[in-house]
Amino acid sequence: MARYQVILSYDGTDFLGFQRQSDGRTVQGAVEHALHQIGWRDQSVLAAGRTDAGVHASGQVIAFDLNWAHSRFDLQRALNANLPDDVAVKAVGIADESFHPRYDAKARLYQYQIFIEESRNPLKERYAWRVWPELSLDLMLAGTRQITGTHDFASFGSPLKPGGSTIRTIFEANWNRAALDYTFIIQGNAFLYRMVRRIIFFMVQIGRGDIDPESVPDWLKDGKTPVQGLAPSCGLNLVEVIYPH
């Protein structure tokens, strides 16, 4: 018996999120079904995070115990043969028996895609938020610079458990632009429920000129006034979960 550490990639469009639910299609359900097909007998995999409905991942991390007589490369091929087309195992490793993908993680890296276009673009909108008119990158950068560091993000999200801490540390947050495509990168030690999507929505309002970027510290100090709005899930991608080793 060994504990396997697996990196997953998935298109979240047709899933109700990562976490298994009593009714509806989930990533966890698809992965556990594939595992049962190859002899796994446990009830639940461990995961680094629970992405929302419609959110994608190129670096989700899960772990499970399995008595597997073949190589980890054979395990990768066996799982991919039993997974649906919108989920894939990118890599399989053997971890310490105490490894937990959520509690052992030191940071998570997310990426969000926005494109500026007046008319609908079906080839882009599966993986990005269409915004119109054009945004001010300078204003968004001015706002984004103020969220790095350790702050109380209660206005931007809620803890996973009632009464949990809303203090989080953001190591990096930045915008990049190529023509009319904007990419937001954020890395933090952990994130509140829907925190990244609320931050993005807030920064887009800054980019539109509706919110003063200098007001960001006030929102971080207040903590009682929630941001009213949420960026669409389609643009968000869990890129990497970072561990000490």
Residues 163-190 have pLDDT tens digits of: 899 999 999 999 999 999 999 999 999 9
Looking at the fold, whether 39 and 88 belong to one and the same domain comes out as yes
Token pair listed for 195? 């925190």
**Is 101 within a domain?**
no
Looking at the fold, whether 147 and 74 belong to one and the same domain comes out as no
* Domain at 51, CATH number: 3.30.70.580
CA–CA distance, 180 with 49 (Å, rounded to integer): 31
Per the annotation, the verdict on 210 as an active-site residue is no
Looking at the fold, whether 120 and 194 belong to one and the same domain comes out as yes
CA–CA distance, 166 with 156 (Å, rounded to integer): 9
pLDDT tens, position by position, 67-108: 999 999 999 999 999 999 999 999 999 999 999 999 999 999
pLDDT band at 223 (very low <50, low <70, confident <90, very high): confident
**Is 219 within a domain?**
yes
Looking at the fold, whether 212 and 119 belong to one and the same domain comes out as yes
224 pLDDT more than 80: no
pLDDT band at 161 (very low <50, low <70, confident <90, very high): confident
Residue 225 pLDDT: 80
Residue 163 pLDDT: 83
Looking at the fold, whether 87 and 197 belong to one and the same domain comes out as no
CA–CA distance, 51 with 233 (Å, rounded to integer): 9
pLDDT band at 162 (very low <50, low <70, confident <90, very high): confident
* Domain at 176, CATH number: 3.30.70.660
Please tell me the total count of domains within the chain: 2
Looking at the fold, whether 23 and 87 belong to one and the same domain comes out as yes
**Is 228 within a domain?**
yes
Residue 221 pLDDT: 86
Looking at the fold, whether 116 and 236 belong to one and the same domain comes out as yes
Residue 201 pLDDT: 98
How confident is the model over 102-127, as a mean pLDDT? 97
Catalytic-role residue among 52, 86, 218, 222: 52
Looking at the fold, whether 125 and 67 belong to one and the same domain comes out as no
Range of the domain at 81: 2-95
Show which of 48, 75, 95 is a domain's final residue.
Answer: 95
**Is 102 within a domain?**
no
CA–CA distance, 56 with 87 (Å, rounded to integer): 10
Report the DSSP beta bridge partners of residue 16: none
pLDDT tens, position by position, 11-52: 999 999 999 998 899 999 999 999 999 999 999 999 999 999
Residue 25 pLDDT: 97
Whole-prediction pTM:
0.95
